[in-house]
Amino acid sequence: MKIKQFKDDPLSHFSYALVSNGEMALIDPARNPIQYYKYAEEENAKIVAVLETHPHADFVSGHLQIHKETGATIYISEKVGVNYPHQSFDEGDSITIGDVTIKPIFTPGHSPDSLTFHAFDKDEHVLFTGDTLFIGDVGRPDLREKAGNTKSKRKELAQMMYQSIQNKFDDLPDEAIVYPAHGAGSLCGKNMSDANSSTLGNERMGNWAFKKQTKEEFVSEILKDQPFIPSYFGFNVDLNRDGAENVQAAKYRVPIHLNVENIEDEFLVVDTRDEQIYKKSHLPYSINIMARSENDKFETWLGAIIEPEEQFYLVLETIDKLDEILERLAKIGYEKQLKGIFTLSDKITNSSEKFDVATFDENKENYTIVDIRNDAEVSEAKIFENSYHIPLNELRNKIGDLPKNKPLVVHCAGGYRSAAGSSIIESEIEEVAVYDLSEDVKKYKS
């Protein structure tokens, strides 16, 4: 048995290829299948199976495209209720990939239809745990209240997770390798390790979920301090249940406009350029969600700020970034909402207010400070005592709560989110100046 792990850094998503005796199975694949096709070529292997642990909320899967292009069978729990061609795969079933047997284990908790896949041959045991068992944590149970057509209450799912962790792994050996679908940085859990794999024995010793505790203690712990749920999560669950269209065809339908000076349409504009470039010159009423590196979580914040099916334009710094940005949009299924892609003319004069940190230091009382960090971050420690707190993902709907009698200074924890937050407020409030504290916030953190 040979296993290759693929990582999508912005979404902290792990997918897998299992190869044995010329056959390949893919587990929880990302939307674009090209990386898996390349690996199949390298291994001279035929892709015969795509296994989904559950309908994912934070990314779009390419299972249907892979099925259509390779003939691979999609294996997924009948409890998911999908309409695309598939083979139901539930506890008691099994398949063989080369010399490897794969059996599904019903492990509800993150979702009511979650599976863990137990793959084994004569030498090795492997667990593809999806969003059930992470390294150091377990999947959050609160997504299905709002995510997807199949709704389940968080407390009920938390209780299911307790039963899954307590009972479903008992007969498996300590040396079984644990391969989760996500790592640290994913919003599908809250305290995941930076490690990309573990063993079941290590998790039994070090993962809080395996420690001896009552169901009530477990439920209380798993439900507290969970991160926010981006708007796009429910949209992705339903899209994965239906099966996404071919990603290469979907990405390149978008019209491109070069050196734009203004737009007349009322669609939202998302500007992906670096904040320093944006602040010097941008289209009025645009939102600055930077896509500058693989560590910036652009996909998460786009899907948290822009609602599913809300139409928008996108601004690029140069057309060279076209392929990269279309790939990132397609990962969360937002390419259909995109009405056009722009590069901007150097004749645009609209700019953001320049911020003088020294003046702010001397007269903080003359400003309204807006903290756009998440609830858990603020409960842990406020950076400025008298600040207003509105999480970034709620900001567009709550701008009316902000006073307009003083200039507004927006901050987050490191500067990335405040670029988006200040641009949102700037596009809505004209009565007072709006400033971005940006990376200068770091000097105020204790």
What is residue 149's predicted lDDT score, i.e. its pLDDT?
Answer: 53
Which 3 state secondary structure label does DSSP give 361? Answer: helix
Phi, psi of 417 (to 5 degrees): -70, -30
Q: What is the mean pLDDT of residues 354-380?
A: 94
Q: Please tell me the pTM assigned to this model.
A: 0.94
Per-residue pLDDT tens digits for 10-44: 999 999 999 999 999 999 999 999 999 999 999 99
Which 3 state secondary structure label does DSSP give 440? Answer: helix
Residue type, 88: S
Beta bridge partners of residue 46, listed in sequence order = 23
What is residue 191's predicted lDDT score, i.e. its pLDDT?
Answer: 80
Cα 11 from chain centroid (whole Å):
4
Q: What is the mean pLDDT of residues 264-291?
A: 94
Cα 30 from chain centroid (whole Å):
12
| Sign (positive or negative) of CA dihedral 186, 191, 195, 196 | negative
CA distance 417 to 288: 9
Q: Which residue has the tokens 């500058």?
A: 292
CA distance 411 to 442: 10
Q: What is the mean pLDDT of residues 435-446?
A: 92
Taking 90 as the threshold, does the pLDDT of residue 246 lie above it?
Answer: yes
Our CA angle for 17, 21, 25, nearest 5°, is: 25
What is residue 411's predicted lDDT score, i.e. its pLDDT?
Answer: 97
- For 172, other C-beta atoms within 10 Å of its C-beta total 18
Taking 90 as the threshold, does the pLDDT of residue 432 lie above it?
Answer: yes
**H-assigned helices in 260-320:** 275-280, 298-305
Structure tokens at 193: 């390790």
Instruction: Name the band, by pLDDT with cuts 50, 70 and 90, for residue 293.
Output: confident
What is residue 148's predicted lDDT score, i.e. its pLDDT?
Answer: 52
Taking 90 as the threshold, does the pLDDT of residue 384 lie above it?
Answer: yes
295: left (phi over 0), alpha (psi -120 to 50) or beta: alpha
Which 3 state secondary structure label does DSSP give 408? Answer: strand
Mean per-residue pLDDT over the chain, rounded: 95
What is residue 295's predicted lDDT score, i.e. its pLDDT?
Answer: 73
Per-residue pLDDT tens digits for 183-239: 998 998 888 998 999 999 999 999 999 999 999 999 999 999 888 999 999 999 999
CA distance 8 to 335: 18
What is residue 225's predicted lDDT score, i.e. its pLDDT?
Answer: 87
Beta bridge partners of residue 17, listed in sequence order = 4, 26
What is residue 143's predicted lDDT score, i.e. its pLDDT?
Answer: 87
Taking 90 as the threshold, does the pLDDT of residue 303 lie above it?
Answer: yes
User: Minimal CA–CA distance to 443: which of 404, 414, 401?
Assistant: 414
Per-residue pLDDT tens digits for 64-122: 999 999 999 999 999 999 989 999 999 999 999 999 999 999 999 999 999 999 999 99
Per-residue pLDDT tens digits for 138-178: 999 998 776 555 556 999 999 999 999 999 999 999 999 99
What is residue 146's predicted lDDT score, i.e. its pLDDT?
Answer: 60
Structure tokens at 53: 């642990």
Kindly report each contact of residues 65-71 with a partner whose C-beta sits within 8 Å and lies 24 or more positions away, as own/partner: 65/31, 65/33, 65/244, 65/245, 65/246, 65/247, 66/26, 66/29, 66/33, 66/36, 68/246, 69/33, 70/37, 70/46
Higher-confidence residue of 152 and 336: namely 336
Counting residues of the chain whose pLDDT is more than 90, the rounded percentage is 91
Residue type, 10: P
Task: Write the burial class of residue 445 (CB in 10 Å: 0-12 exposed, 13-18 middle, 19+ buried).
Answer: exposed
Instruction: Name the band, by pLDDT with cuts 50, 70 and 90, for residue 416.
Output: very high
**In the β-sheet with 115-120, what is the strand arrangement from edge to edge?**
95-97, 100-106, 115-120, 125-130, 177-180, 198-199
Instruction: Name the band, by pLDDT with cuts 50, 70 and 90, for residue 125.
Output: very high
Taking 70 as the threshold, does the pLDDT of residue 286 lie above it?
Answer: yes
What is residue 151's predicted lDDT score, i.e. its pLDDT?
Answer: 57
CA distance 220 to 214: 10
Phi, psi of 305 (to 5 degrees): -90, -40
Structure tokens at 39: 């690996």
What is residue 147's predicted lDDT score, i.e. its pLDDT?
Answer: 57
Parallel, antiparallel, or unpaired: how do β-strands 177-180 and 125-130 relate?
parallel
Parallel, antiparallel, or unpaired: how do β-strands 73-76 and 46-51 relate?
parallel
What is residue 107's predicted lDDT score, i.e. its pLDDT?
Answer: 98
For 266, residues 6+ apart whose C-beta sits below 8 A from its C-beta are none
